Amino acid sequence: MTGNGTRVGVLALQGAFAEHLKALNRLKLSGIEVRRAADLEGLSGLIIPGGESTAIGRLLAEMGLREPILRRVAEGMAVMGTCAGMILLAGETSDYPLEPLGLMDITVRRNAFGRQVDSFETPVAIAALGAMPFPAVFIRAPCIEKVGTAVEALGRLNDGRLVAARQGKLLALAFHPELTRDTRCHGLFVEML
């Protein structure tokens, strides 16, 4: 909760949720851990962290969170999905055995960088964040293969692969912005609320 009542939740079922809460703290926001449907009430935004997209997907269904998330988004809640979280946001996926939430008109390829390149850090130019490229950490990362007309491409790797996109109040990032000190991605998300 902040002074102006902005409530941001972080899905805390599996993965890097603690690091997202710390990133929000650096922006003077205290995030709310979301584990049950009731935790979603009153949130302006929700962060779906990186981790293991199959584990997060299964737990979402088990905890009865799928429908409540879709309902809250229809009511105007913003969502930022990072890495595994981006897979969950997708309308279509390659290499993902479960049904994603289908919130964004994007096709996401899981483990797009192959097993030989497990993780890497590289600067990504994202005009929406300003002139300085973002130090993006990729860990067994997905990428966006296809976007619909409502989707704004925000950032690409040098080889042209799309790794950041926005559709209305939905923000998809293939990398882990919570693992660097740079809070601009979280700042952009908070501005979208």
Per CB under 6 A, the list member of 31, 45, 51, 81 interacting with ligand GLN is: 51
Of 81-89, 120-128, 158-166, 178-186: span binding ligand GLN (CB under 6 A): 81-89
Q: How many residues bind ligand GLN (CB under 6 A)?
A: 11
- Nearer Cβ to ligand GLN, position 50 or 91? 50
Cα separation of 107 and 105, whole Å?
A: 7
Choose which of 83, 154, 162, 165 interacts with ligand GLN (CB under 6 A). Answer: 83
The three state secondary structure string of the chain is: CCCCCCCEEEECCCCCHHHHHHHHHHCCCCCEEECCHHHHCCCCEEEECCCCHHHHHHHHHHCCCHHHHHHHHHCCCEEEEECHHHHHHEEEEECCCCCCCCCEEEEEECCCCCCCCCEEEEEECEHHHCCCCEEEEEECCCEEEEECCCCEEEEECCCCCEEEEEECCEEEECCCHHHCCCCHHHHHHHHHC
* Residue closer to ligand GLN (CB basis): 51 or 68: 51
Q: How far is the CB of 41 from ligand GLN (least distance, A)?
A: 27
176 is catalytic: yes
Tokens of 132: 């300085």
Q: How far is the CB of 140 from ligand GLN (least distance, A)?
A: 4
Q: Is 164 in the site for ligand GLN (CB under 6 A)?
A: no
139 sits near ligand GLN (criterion: CB under 6 A): yes
Catalytic hit among 19, 83, 185, 186: 83
By the rule CB under 6 A, 52 interacts with ligand GLN: yes
| Active site positions, annotated | 83, 176, 178
> In the complex, which residues of this chain contact ligand GLN (CB under 6 A)?
50-53, 83-84, 87, 110-111, 139-140
